[in-house]
Structures are given as C-alpha cells and as structure tokens.
Structure 1
Amino acid sequence: MRPLEGIKVLDLTRALAGPFCATMLGDYGADVIKIERPGAGDDTRGWGPPFIGEESAYFLSVNRNKRSLTLNLRDEQAQQIFLKLAADADVIVENFTPDVMTNFNLGYEDMKKVNPGIVYCSISGFGASGPYRDRPAYDQIMQGVSGLMSITGDLGGDPQKVGIAVTDIGAGMWAAFAVMAALFHRNSPSGNGEGQYIDLSMLDAQIAWMTYQAGYYFATGDAPQRLGAAHPTLVPYQGFKGGDGKFFNVAVGSERLWERFCRGIDRTELKDDPDYATNGDRVNHRSQLVQMLEEHFRSKDADDWVADLQAVSVPAGPINDLKDVFNDPQVQHREMLLEMPHPTLGSIQQTGLPIKFSATPGELEKHPPLLGEHNRQILNDLGYPDAEIDQMATSGVI
C-alpha cells in the first residue's frame, strides 16, 4: 500500500502550481483524474520547444501518475459527469481565477451538497479575497510582487528571477500539505467526516517562504538587498571561482567551521586576525575578506578546493549544471533520476520521489497521460455505455 491509496483526486489544474500539487498526491498513491479541455488540454501540452516526440517536455515533467479525462465544463452534460465523479471523490484541486468554478455551478458550495466530505482546494495568484483577487498571475509576476526578485541577483545589479518557477512550485507544495491536513482533520474524531474549502494564494505562499529575510526587515525596518551568491549574515558563505573558471560553494556557519576553513585553505593566520575573529567581524569586513579569498582561490582548481575543504569537514561543493546533477553518484543512488514507459515515446526520464517512506513508498505507476487517454475507462466506470461515450465525443462534451 502506498500512503494515499484509496484517495480520489479530481485535478482541474493547468500550468504548474496545481499540476505539481496533484502530482505529489499521485506519486504517493492517490487516484488523480486530470480533467482537461477537449481538443486542447492543459496549456503546457503546447509549451515548447523542447518536445520529446510530440509531447511537451514541460508537461511531461509535472503530470505523471494521473489519468486524463476531457470535459467541456461549459456543457451541462459535462457538468453532470463532473458531479458524478465528485460524489465519491475526496479532493478537488483547481487553479482557475476566482468565481470560474462557481459560474459553472461547480464551486465548493455546490460540491458540498453532493459530497459533504469533499476537500476543495483553490489555487490562485492573489487568493479568493482582497483588492487583487481578480488579477491574472504567472510565476514571474508573483516573484516580483512577493519581493523575491528584490533579494535575488548581484549586489548593485538588476533584480533577477529564480531559475525555476519557485512561486508556482511552492504554492503547489503548500497546497499538497493543505490537502493532507484537511484530510487528516476530516478523518479525525473532531472532523466528523466533513471536508472544507482551501483558499491558497501564490502570493501568500511565497511570502511565507521569506522567513529570515522577512525577519531581517522586521528587526531593522530596512528592506534586505541583493547579495548575489553571498549570505546576508554569514561570511564566508557564498560561491567562489577556482583557477579553472569553475565555481564552488563554501558555507562557514560557525566559528568552529571558520577555524577548519582556515586550515583547509592553508591560511591559518586568518584565524587569529582580529578583523575576522568572529562572524560579526567577518560580516563587517566582508568586502576585504571576500576579495582576499577570491584571489587565493585562483591558485587551484575548484574541485581541488572542494576536496581540501571536505577533508576538514567544512561544507563545500561544486556548483553543478543539470548534466552534472543527474550524473552524480549520490543523486543516482537516491534514485532521483528514474525512467518509466510511455505509450508513444518508449520511455521517458523523470525526477525521482524525494520522500522515502519505509513502509509505504510511492512509485511512478502511470505515465503522463495522453489527452483524453482515459475517457472511456473513467466514463465506463461511471456507468456510461460505449455508444453514449461516442456520442459525447462527437458532440464535444468530451
């Protein structure tokens, strides 16, 4: 048994935040039915290049462990099909702009009448309330609005976005956590079997991730500034370049590590220099210390420095590209690169499952579905005969 065996999820999401949430649930055993627009599907089916065959690499990356059902939710018959699905579902996840589902008569209040135990999670850019509720949102917009871009980039340089859509992915992770919390409450004695509505905002989710940077603002009243690869309160704690032009990271997070660091780079005299005696001293003299270290690190290749520092138990590591990452022996040992069969592509590579349960592990059971691949299977299970399914396909219901 996987931990979410028996949980049925109706996934009405597209792009990234919602699909990532539903994939997390599917990876650990939930039966996820991805409901898509007939003829078009999730927007990301067309996001490319790159494509693998005719499939978008983007879509393939966040839609495994799902079955695909096409429904034109503007059609009354399609709405009735959705209601039948919802009657014994556990979870609905959607990321339309607020009120879209209500306008289809498929909002939470409608679903609660059909299934009082439903957990209904709505993911949107700004949430279901407030002055910005109707604004459209994509990840880059939210990285800017949330303040994330203001602290990302080089000192004195332009604001930069993070290299992956962390506001989308973070919202998806918060949503998966919220769904699990709501299911736990529903199934507890105090929950009485009742579901609830979850209002998940990408803005809220990203601000919650600001943690210590927000703490610095609360403490000083000053907005934190961009520091490139450096840390605002620890020195040296950043990236450096070796003599071969490759970059590596160093993380000196304590005075004990500072002493080891000085030994590891063969500069023990720095340990006794009053300008660098404590982390506070090093922060106050950041620019001169970093400049000195940058010059010193040009004397050897990056991998050699990493080996020297690791030999004295100082956290250090290469700055890998993704080719390096997926050829790394630790990554491979942890099964974070997997392959799974696909009906039109032979096999595809996928990132592995990050949570390793001892008793109920997840698995890559279902390939990212073809558009409408499971229409007949799902509708047959609901009691629709093949002839009626053919008629619905012809008339555009599915």
Structure 2
Amino acid sequence: MTSGKNRFHAVVHGGDFVKSATADKTTAMTGANAVLGALLARSNGAGGQHVEVNLLDSTLSWMWLDYFWNESVPEAPRTPTYSEWYSPWQTIDGWVGAIWPSDEQYARVCLKLGVSHLADDPRFATREARIRNSNEHQREFAKLLGEFTTADALKALSEADVPCAPVLSITEVFNNPQVKHNETVLTHHHPVVGQVRTARFPARFSKTPTQLERMAPDKGEHTDEVLTELGRSPADIAKLRSDGIIA
C-alpha cells in the first residue's frame, strides 16, 4: 500500500515469536484497533501514517496485567497471579472452575464443603492470608474437591453462592445450556463438506445485526464477480483466463 498525507500503511509480522492461535488472534485484534486509531488520528488532522504490530509485543501487552503483576513491581511482596488464583480444581470425574475472593464467600464454601474448621484457620481466614498462603490453600482444596464428583462439587459451590462452572471438553461445549440460550453456534450447509458449525459473531448490533450471508469462497470462486465490479467485461475476463492470467 502507498502512504501519503491521507493514507496509512498497516503491516503485521511475526518476528521471532513462536506463533500460536492466541498470539495470532491477539495480534490481529491489536492491528484492527491500531488501524481504527490511525483512522481517528487522520480524521483529526494528523494525516496518514505507518502502523506496525507484531506477535510478541501484542501478546505480552495482552497478558501483562493478568500474568506479570509481580514483575511489574518487583520489590513488592509477591502475590498469586490469575493463572494460580483461578486454576481449575480436579474432581473424581472431571474439573471445575471456582473462586471465592471475599471472606464471606470463603466461609460459605467451607461450610458447604464440610470443612467449617478451615474458615477459622489463620492461614486462610482472610483474603490477605489466603494470598500469602496460596500454595497451601490450593493444596487443601485440591485434595478436598478431588473427593467430589463434578456434579456434587458444583452443587455445593452453587449453594455457597460463589462463581463456579464445569470445565468443558470441546464436544461438551455444544450442549452447554448457556451456549444454546445465546445461540452462539450457527449451523449451515456447505455444498461440498455438508453440515458446518461456526461461532456467531460475538458482538450483537441492535440496528445492523450480523448474519451468515455466504460461505468462505473456494479458490477463484469469485474471480469473475470481483473483476466485473472492477469494470472488466466478460470478454476481458475470458481473455485473461485464456491467457492463463487468472484461473
């Protein structure tokens, strides 16, 4: 793309960072937001500019607050990161995700799980104590919840009124009640592969709702359509094809 007073040029590259699905998508979102920022700057008189994003910077920026807070203030006492604090708990037959950050929630959990004595344990009685002794806290409740089935654990945790949910396998997602209620998964028919399922666009627009209008194109499927929109006549397109310029 050319650059100039009223143009901008966006480039996405990988550098040395190992690519992953998360890194790729995070960088794409970073790039989209950067382009919107460049467009806003242009509309405010800054002119066109070159916008560059990469996988490494985008992914570290996205992860920073959740994973790097101890490194952000290296001289402060260490506290558990979200990856530690929100780690799922293994049950007899699966996994559950649950969190009880407040002292009231913690006391209710102890009662419902049948370990009321832990509510007064000085290692865990306050949020600060649970953070300070997070490894011991994790071990205690990992052992405890490991003796429950997933259904029984979720029943007790729900009765304790704390955020909790089962950890689902990929195939279990499709039968999740909330996924069904939200109509998150769309099903359509593809002329070659048959039934195809895909996730609905996550944003819901009240005036301009999104919808699935057409399938992803096969190689060269829309060549004639695109060239026609660009002003090429059927004769021009036929010659381009006969000359081997287009497939």
TM tier, smaller: 0.7 to 0.9
User: Do residues 176 (structure 1) and 176 (structure 2) align?
Assistant: no
RMSD: 2.8
Cα distance in 1 for residues equivalent to 2:40 and 2:155: 46
Cα distance in 2 for residues equivalent to 1:215 and 1:293: 25
Name which of 82, 87, 93 aligns with 1:238: 87
SS at match of 1:259: helix
User: Do residues 219 (structure 1) and 73 (structure 2) align?
Assistant: yes
Number of aligned pairs? Answer: 244
User: Do residues 120 (structure 1) and 14 (structure 2) align?
Assistant: no
| Cα distance change, pair 138–276 in 1 and its aligned pair in 2 (3 A) | closer
Aligned twin of 1:279: 127
Cα distance in 2 for residues equivalent to 1:355 and 1:334: 12
SS at match of 1:198: strand
- Contact persistence 1:249–1:316 (CA under 8 A): yes
C-alpha displacement of 1:356 = 1.4
TM-score normalised per structure 1: 0.55
C-alpha displacement of 1:256 = 2.8
C-alpha displacement of 1:312 = 2.3
Cα distance in 2 for residues equivalent to 1:259 and 1:324: 32
| Cα distance change, pair 347–287 in 1 and its aligned pair in 2 (3 A) | closer
Cα distance in 1 for residues equivalent to 2:148 and 2:119: 21
Cα distance in 1 for residues equivalent to 2:197 and 2:45: 41
- Contact persistence 2:89–2:146 (CA under 8 A): no
TM-score normalised per structure 2: 0.85
| Cα distance change, pair 280–388 in 1 and its aligned pair in 2 (3 A) | same
Runs of 4+ aligned residues of structure 1 deviating over 4 Å after TM superposition are: 116-119
Q: Equivalent residues in 2 for 1:1-398 (5 A)? A: 107-109=1-3, 112=4, 117-126=6-15, 138-140=18-20, 165-186=21-42, 188=43, 190-191=44-45, 194-212=47-65, 213-220=67-74, 231-232=83-84, 234=85, 237-243=86-92, 245-398=93-246
C-alpha displacement of 1:348 = 1.7
| Cα distance change, pair 117–390 in 1 and its aligned pair in 2 (3 A) | farther
Deviations 1:312-356 (A, max 9, x none): 221111110111112112112212100234343344211111111
Q: Which residue identity lines up with residue 354 of structure 1 in the other structure?
A: P
- Contact persistence 2:90–2:142 (CA under 8 A): yes
Q: Which residue identity lines up with residue 317 of structure 1 in the other structure?
A: A
SS at match of 2:147: coil
| Cα distance change, pair 342–272 in 1 and its aligned pair in 2 (3 A) | same
| Cα distance change, pair 349–231 in 1 and its aligned pair in 2 (3 A) | closer
C-alpha displacement of 1:251 = 1.4
Deviations 1:8-35 (A, max 9, x none): xxxxxxxxxxxxxxxxxxxxxxxxxxxx
- Contact persistence 1:167–1:205 (CA under 8 A): yes
Larger Rg: 2
- Contact persistence 2:173–2:179 (CA under 8 A): yes
| Cα distance change, pair 231–282 in 1 and its aligned pair in 2 (3 A) | farther
Cα distance in 2 for residues equivalent to 1:182 and 1:363: 28
- Contact persistence 2:38–2:49 (CA under 8 A): yes
SS at match of 2:71: helix
SS at match of 1:276: coil
Q: Percent identity?
A: 26
